[in-house]
Amino acid sequence: MRILVTGGAGFIGSEYVRMLLGVPGGDASGVPVEDPAALTVLDKLTYSGNLANLAPVRDDPRLRFVRGDICDTALVDEVVPGHDVIVHFAAESHVDRSITGAAPFVTTNVLGTQTLLDAALRHGISRFVHVSTDEVYGSIDSGSWTEDWPLAPNSPYSASKAGSDLLALSYHRTHGLDVVVTRCSNNYGPYQFPEKVVPLFVTNLLDGGTVPLYGDGGNVRDWLHVHDHCRGVAMVQEKGRAGEVYHIGGGTELTNRQLTERLLAACGAGWDRVVPVTDRKGHDRRYSLDIGKISSELGYAPSIDLDRGLAETVRWYRDNRAWWEPLKTAGPE
């Protein structure tokens, strides 16, 4: 099996690569995908892409890294042939950035996905795994979304992801391309760029600083360890039914206030370090995924409980200052 991973130098894509290549000392248990014979990472290395994320597998002879843009048709046409499967993680991924500037979100998330889908079709790719988000459904006050729920995205980020999901599914229906779509909840874990809430809060706290809490802190998110997300993606890659959408969740809903309390405790800090800030524009109140389909069809269940996962994540940021300090001091682009 020869796999092309787009966005493989980012937070989740790099976990997928490390997992499939069986990072030395890493936990590859329960990973259902056969060892890849070759694995190519195609990544533009935007502000959130980082070759240091691939350092643990850098010397694996099966890994090839190509720096490039998924919107570059000529490059994509060169890179795609020779692969069996594309697992597509590359995206602009931060909601706040999409509020201040939507153009790169539409370009990468929509046009980039279409460029890859066309290349997949041209070069006879046998499976295209499109990685997406629960945010495409908007916000839900009670209950949980199933995969057939109508899409109602509220941010430019989630709207661009919804557009890419629909395009991916349309290539299955129109052209018969073997496409599967995954939608996951909020990921946390090592190697996450310190603009997202968990690494932002942890690194601020480890530096003795404060943390900004949006609005009343009552927004609810389901927290999923990145390794469990990647196990779910691997199951879908291996056994998911073509043309279908699969949810991948962590089964742990917390308000942002509750999450903040846990992070403060893990870092030995008190509530005096929290600074309330004006709420994000259009801030979705609650996300909640029903994971019954992937559980019953593919046997998925999250394996890392939140307490253990957060404790390990805080420890990782504590032990890996050399990874995140340069990213914080570089400041926003």
Choose between 43 and 60: whose C-beta lies nearer to ligand NAD: 43
Q: Which of 7, 138, 156, 199 binds ligand NAD (CB under 6 A)?
A: 7
Q: Could you give the residue numbers annotated as active site? A: 134-135, 157
- State the minimum distance, in angstroms, from the CB of residue 317 to ligand NAD: 15
- State the minimum distance, in angstroms, from the CB of residue 124 to ligand NAD: 22
- State the minimum distance, in angstroms, from the CB of residue 72 to ligand NAD: 8
> Does residue 250 touch ligand NAD according to CB under 6 A?
no
Q: List the x/- string, 85-124, binding to ligand NAD by CB under 6 A.
A: ----xxxxx--------------x---x------------
Choose between 9 and 245: whose C-beta lies nearer to ligand NAD: 9
3-state secondary structure string across the chain = CEEEEECCCCHHHHHHHHHHCCCCCCCCCCCCCCCCCEEEEEECCCCCCCHHHHHHHCCCCCEEEEECCCCCHHHHHHHCCCCCEEEECCCCCCHHHHHHCCHHHHHHHHHHHHHHHHHHHHCCCCEEEEEEEHHHHCCCCCCCECCCCCCCCCCHHHHHHHHHHHHHHHHHHHHCCCEEEEEECEEECCCCCCCCHHHHHHHHHHCCCCEEEECCCCCEEEEEEHHHHHHHHHHHHHHCCCCCEEEECCCCEEEHHHHHHHHHHHCCCCHHHEEEECCCCCCCCECCECCHHHHHHHCCCCCCCHHHHHHHHHHHHHHCHHHHHHHHHHCCC
Q: Which of 3, 5, 11, 40 binds ligand NAD (CB under 6 A)?
A: 11
> Does residue 287 touch ligand NAD according to CB under 6 A?
no
Number of residues that bind ligand NAD (CB under 6 A): 30
Chain residues that interact with ligand NAD, rule: CB under 6 A: 6-7, 9-13, 43-46, 48-49, 69-71, 89-93, 108, 112, 131, 133, 161, 184, 186-187, 193
